[in-house]
A and B are shown apart, each in its own frame.
Chain A
Amino acid sequence: MTLTMGKALNAALRDALREDDSVVVFGEDVGPLGGVFRVTDGLTAEFGEERCFDTPLAESGIVGLALGMAMNGFRPVVEMQFDAFAYPAFEQLASHVAKMRNRTRGAVGLPMVIRVPYAGGIGGVEHHSDSSEAYYAHTPGLKVVTPATVADAYSLLREAIADPDPVVFMEAKKLYWSKDETGLPVRTAPFGTAEVRRAGSDATLLAYGPTLPVALQAAEAAAGDGRQLEVIDLRTLVPFDDETVAASVRRTGRCVVVAEASGFASVSAEIAARVQERCFHSLWAPVLRVTGWDIPYPPPVLEKYHLPGVDRVLDTVDRLQWDDAPDSRFLSGAAT
């Protein structure tokens, strides 16, 4: 059956609500409206206002309420309407949600999911396109998951809801309308498992969420030029699958990380560091990154200059020292 990612997420919530009475869905406009992206469409009608309901417009309160419910037998799945609207909840996430199990020495676990529609490419005006994954991934105690395929959207969300720990579930907005063939329910690889989406022997592209389609298109184009790029979908940023990533890079000897978030102090920076730590003796070139610039997310008219695209990925692959020449971009003095 052909399905959009949005519908797969909706089906995951529906199936979780059906199978487990302790699951509740709440947030802003998730009730009769079905969420601004319609991910909760029809849930209030099917399960009633007690299972899927609107709250006051206050993200910290939403996450705090969810925490209290999770302490007392429920599995809340809350929606932060947009990436940048989740920031008021950050203290709850960083100081409480992430730490509760640890500070109580395991006595209190928090099975809860915080869904965050994130990243750009949809022409959103200011505050609607942030790639905020690094904030969460940098916070020990949170799991951070971001599906890039329709089947993963369903399976990873089901796994997130069943997980005993809090999961920040990041949904790339521009992929909500992406389509794929998949039967439901579907079970894909578990958390902590990266997937090779395209095999290749010349270089490894590491991507997640919104940049997976970009990496796959770049690999297709590179194949036309005779370069076989392996594309890995990271799927879960925390826990991170070092093994699959390192095994691929040791084989190909070259690696590019493709991420939409700004590069400085980012998830892509962490990944590049990890790859170099683990694969130094196998590398023919430094690990390079294609990321958004280190700028506040641009207005819609200018976002095409910010987002990593196929050409930028291919240009970066070209700089992987195929002829052993130094990368001119990073020659001494080039930055000034």
Chain B
Amino acid sequence: MTTQAEHRMPTAALPADASGLLPAAEPIRFLDDDGGPAPGDAHGRYQRPATELLRQAYRAMVVGRRFDSQATALTKQGRLAVYPSSRGQEAGEIGAVLALRDTDWLFPTYRDTMALVSRGIDPVEALTLLRGSWHCGYDPTTTRTAPQCTPLATHAPHAVGLAYAARRRGEDTVALALVGDGGTSEGDFHEALNFAAVFHVPVVFLVQNNGYAISVPLSRQTAAPSLAHKGVGYGVRGERVDGNDPVAVLAVLGDAVESARAGGGPVLVEAHTYRVEPHTNADDDTRYRDHDEVEMWKRRDPIARLEAHLRTAGELTDDDVSAAREAAEAFADDVRTRLGEEATGDPADLFAHVYAEPTAQLREQARWLAEELAHEHGAGEAR
């Protein structure tokens, strides 16, 4: 292990100037709700990302949304046990992925399967959890993507620890943890931000504030001026961004990740967005929100806004749009075909990975289950 010249050990020193940690008064925007230019200085100090990155984001968002709708459809056919949709949150899902290098780490939640497939994880592996054939279907070490986390915000301290470890070895790895608005109420969110600040860890927390924690609105989560304001209490810089403005999301996340990489410490980004679909396919959102509200947010669609923006700038052609849609259909076809097969699982796996070496008790129980299955199999054949 190399020692770490730039590693900063905990000290009592706190930032003297709290104002530098506060988010802008309004969320950062480049685009208005229709994809036209946002008025005045709405984008603050941020620069418009490179055109090629925006075009890449557009394609990934189109594919991501099609994947998401395909996954929702698969729940209706019983191919997935459950699917929490991120429709409407494409800018955050794709923006998080595009802000990271391959050597960086993503710490996703259960709602971020779109981000997983955008990161290049095989969709069947990415959907393993929700299909129910295992818990995590991809290899976190090769994909640099932690298992999707279900207990809210409990993965945030892991992102801090992993990035801290990398920094101590002198690597320039950044970890990005995805959290929802509900997750910010959890104790682990607080502990993660606090540890990240005290140890000056290169980690970015992206809070996708989609308005609801299942049914509970943001007003029941916090009385803070914004979720990004929570950063100042820890000495973490906070930023707010229009989460349905892909240009702004890419600009702010890219800046946050590179700032963390450069040794600027952790950053908290709050993306204002909206969960267009119910919490999952099993949820009835008519019990807690108005249809008008959903329709209002649908009119701020991130894909439509980016498409309008790129077309106006002459940076996206009809052919580009067609190609993106064809890619999305091909992706969905593949998902549909491969998930059309019945999910299977090997009962021997149940005992194989509890420890590096199964204990005597687990070996014994694996044998008992195998005997039970052999007996059932024999009885089945006898009939």
Contacts and interface: CB of A to CB of B under 8 A. Distances in A.
Interface in B146-197: 146-147, 151, 154-166, 168-169, 175, 187-188, 191-192, 194-195
A79 to B, nearest CB: 16
A300 interface: no
B359 interface: yes
Interface in A55-69: 55-56, 58, 60-61, 63-69
Interface stretch (B58-66, B131-139, B304-312, B320-328): B131-139
Nearest to B167: A72
A19 interface: no
Contact of B165 (A21, A68, A165, A238): A68
Given A60-B187, A64-B188, A141-B355, A69 B164 contact: yes
Contacts of B49: none
B192 to A, nearest CB: 7
A72 B161 contact: yes
Contact of A68 (B134, B139, B158, B194): B158
Contacts of B175: 68
B141 to A, nearest CB: 6
Contacts of B356: 101, 106, 109, 164-165
Contacts of B360: 192, 239, 242-243
A99 B158 CA distance: 14
A101 B135 CA distance: 11
Given A58-B195, A105-B349, A107-B139, A65 B147 contact: no
Interface stretch (B2-10, B34-42, B332-340): B2-10
Contacts of A88: 187
A64 B156 contact: yes
A50 B3 contact: yes
Given A88-B187, A240-B361, A58 B194 contact: yes
A99 B168 contact: no
Nearest to B175: A68
A69 B167 CA distance: 11
A21 B169 CA distance: 11
Contact of B191 (A54, A56, A238): A56
Of the four ranges (under 10, 10 to 19, 20 to 34, 35 or more), the interface on chain B belongs to 35 or more
B383 interface: no
Given A50-B7, A53-B9, A64-B154, A101 B164 contact: no
Contacts of B9: 49-50, 53
Contacts of B156: 64
A86 B57 CA distance: 44
Interface in B25-79: none
Contacts, number: 148
Interface string A97-116: 00111111111110000000
A73 interface: yes
Contact of A105 (B134, B168, B194): B134
B251 to A, nearest CB: 28
A91 interface: yes
B211 interface: no
Contacts of A49: 9-10
B198 interface: yes
Nearest to B352: A106
Contact of A55 (B139, B195, B361): B195
A66 B162 CA distance: 9
B353 interface: yes
Contacts of B14: none
A106 B353 contact: yes
Contacts of B1: 21-22, 73
Best-surrounded residue of B3, B134, B159, B354 (most CB of chain A within 10 A): B354
B169 A73 contact: yes
A239 B361 contact: yes
A107 B359 CA distance: 18
Interface residues of A, number: 50
B264 interface: no
B217 interface: no
Contacts of B192: 61, 64
A276 interface: no
Interface in A9-34: 21-22
A95 interface: yes
B140 interface: yes
A303 to B, nearest CB: 31
A253 to B, nearest CB: 24
B157 A101 contact: no
A183 interface: no
Contacts of A58: 191, 194-195
Contacts of A141: 354-355
Contacts of B353: 101-102, 104-106
B363 to A, nearest CB: 10
Contacts of B139: 104, 107
Contacts of B188: 60-61, 64, 91-92
A96 interface: yes
Nearest to A242: B360
Contacts of A50: 3-4, 7, 9, 168
B136 A103 contact: yes
Interface in A39-92: 49-50, 53-56, 58, 60-61, 63-74, 88, 91-92
Nearest to A101: B353
Contacts of B161: 64-72
Contacts of B191: 56, 58, 60-61, 64
A56 B195 contact: yes
23 contacts: A50-B3, A50-B9, A54-B10, A55-B10, A56-B191, A56-B195, A61-B192, A63-B157, A64-B157, A68-B159, A68-B164, A69-B165, A72-B161, A88-B187, A91-B154, A96-B155, A101-B353, A103-B134, A104-B353, A105-B134, A107-B140, A140-B354, A141-B354
Nearest 3 Cβ contacts at the A-B interface: A68-B161, A64-B157, A61-B191
Interface of A: 21-22, 49-50, 53-56, 58, 60-61, 63-74, 88, 91-92, 95-96, 99-109, 140-141, 143, 164-165, 192, 238-240, 242-243
